Structure 1
Amino acid sequence: MKLLRYGPVGAERPAILDAEGNMRDLSSVVPDINGDALSPESLAKIAKVDVSSLPVVQGTPRVGSAIARPGKFLCVGLNYADHARETGKEPPAEPVLFSKATTALCGPYDDVEIPRGSDRTDWEIELGIVIGSRAKYVDEADALSHVAGYALVNDVSERRFQSERGGQWIKGKSHDTFGPVGPWMVTKDEFDDIQNIDLWLDVDGDRRQTGNTKTMIFGVAHLVHYISQFMTLEAGDIIATGTPPGVGLGMKPPTFLRAGQVVTLGASGLGEQRQLMVQA
């Protein structure tokens, strides 16, 4: 199933894509695509619905973040060895964890703001894990049973804020609109192998990133297991799993985003995003 949310900011409604790619309103089944809707019981309930009986969403409404109000928006840094090296770092021995503020969340086609005072706003295409049930001290062999599905994430970053302004990375990761998620959350049953997903990102039509999740240092199951040793994961939490090489910081010379540029990105099975860069 492909679950999504549509409508104005703050007033989004839940929807599901039918076999023809039409958006069908899901409000009669669940109030939103959030933690409660992502439980195994709720997903089973949605799966039993005759999608053709649901009303078709008319027109071309805004598409919001695929997930509403996650309790946590976690990220994994340096999770592709070639990306770690392009940033001048060695591949980590354990997953590098940090957070994005949940206020960074936005829709996949929303404008992305370049923060005031920024001169190093960068792009990062990532596979996002969406948690479906509470995970605390889970074994790696059982980790995927706690996953509801997956979504495309652009982990937009301001590199100077991240690395040169003191403290932790969260300052460079959390500006409003720095977390486009979607267009859909795709339930895990639609993937034969989540560790074989192609990823790509373009800036103004020029290919900047090409990768595949098979080259992740730490795979999806290990990440869910690992993170659950340090904190409890709840339904609706999002984990962005790291980016392949090709970010602006790694270019020679480093190249960053400017207002007016357009970033497009996509992943096999997860759809595509498009963002116009604007000045905050």
Structure 2
Amino acid sequence: MTGTEQAAQGIDTTRPHPARVYDWYLGGKDNYPVDEQLARRITEIDGGAPRAARANRAFMRRATRALAEEAGIRQFLDIGTGIPTEPNLHQIAQSVAPDARVVYVDNDPIVLAHAGALLRGTPEGVTEYVQADARDPRSILDQAGAILDLDRPVALSLIALLHFLADEDGAHDVVRTLVDALAPGSCLVLSMMTADFEPENVRRGITAYAQGGVTLVARSQDEVGAFFTGLDLLEPGIVSVADWRPEEAPEGDGPISLYGAVGVKTAR
């Protein structure tokens, strides 16, 4: 049995999964009726949810390009990869620097089933996939360290991941462990949900996710800032993902309830 077949057997289609719900928001086909049901329920509560997903992906692309072009980063570690949606992070990084090395990390069987799409990088660069849980950062570092040189700067991407991990479940410990292992000049890129802009919609969305068996945590701007302790924030700081160095007019009206930011590690 191939790895893809084994992964497919491990997919639970009876409960919604965040990666598949997100895939539905983005117009993808790698989701199941249970995921679509939850996604539609969330969209009824907050009609901007699909727009927020698209804004989040656009933030990832802009941040990746900025770090490759302006900061000269040539190594990228993307944890909580999700289902492949083009352009993927490695396509952005390697379009700037063909020799960029990219490691994707996820623990979802459906992502493993589609890992082939994540591995089509440039011949000059390296693109690999690691099956691991974000809550086990030391395992991630051990595996990623076989592919990336952790003594050189790395861009660590935690995109729309940490709102699935509460503070009491070790969210800060995960980030601290990962960042502490990286060399000076490395960067932390993250986005996460907030209730600062539309508290009632976000509260109702969290409830809907909970009914589907998915835990979500909304954090304030100050709480997001705590993940960047000891790092230097790049301009414009911690803002809605749509407002982080936008390249075009925002899609639609209303706020995007996701904060995004990039921080630089200047010393060990």
TM range (shorter): under 0.3
Higher helix share: 2
Q: Which has the higher strand share?
A: 1
Q: TM-score, structure 2 length as denominator?
A: 0.28
Scaled by the length of structure 1, what TM-score is found?
0.27
